[in-house]
Structure 1
Amino acid sequence: MSLPGGDSAPQTDPQAVVCARCGATAPGTPLTWTCSVEGGVRRLFCDDCSRENIRAIEGRLDSDRW
C-alpha cells in the first residue's frame, strides 16, 4: 500500500548536476565535464558544450560571451 501522492511525486537526484549552458544532466559530477568560476559562482559545462567552446574557455571568457 502506498501513500497518496507517493508514487507521483517527482524523483530528483540531489547528486545530479546540470550543464550551465544546455541544461544536460548527469548523476554526480562527471570527470569529463568542465568547471568554471565566473563572478564567484561555480558553473559546470557538459562535454559537448565544453568541446564547442574550448577556445573561449581557454581564453578565460565568461560563458555569457560565448
Structure 2
Amino acid sequence: MGDVTTCDFCGTQAPAEQTLTWTTSVENGRRRTYCDTCSRTHLRAMEGKLDSEWW
C-alpha cells in the first residue's frame, strides 16, 4: 500500500499517486497540501499569498 496524502484544509485523503493536481504551499515554514476542491475554492486567496487561516 502506498503513501496517503491528506488535505490540510478539509482532511480529504488520497493515495499519493492520485494527488499530482493538488496544490502545495509553505506557510510559516510548514509545508501545506490542498486537494483539488479546496484549491479551486480558495484559488484567489492562494494567489494573494494569504495564509489558510484567513480563508
Q: What TM-score comes out, normalization by structure 1 length? A: 0.76
Task: Tell me the residue number matched to 1:63.
Answer: 52
Q: Which has the higher contact order (CA 8 A, sep 6+)?
A: 2
Number of corresponding residues: 54
Higher strand share goes to which structure?
A: 2
Identity %: 52
User: 2 CA distance for matches of 1:14 and 1:59?
Assistant: 33
Mind listing any 5+ residue stretches in structure 2 that lack a counterpart?
A: none
**Rg larger in structure:** 1
Aligned-residue RMSD, C-alpha: 1.3
Mind listing any 5+ residue stretches in structure 1 that lack a counterpart?
A: 1-12
After the TM superposition, which segments of 4 or more aligned residues of structure 1 sit over 4 Å from their partners?
A: none
Higher helix share goes to which structure?
A: 2
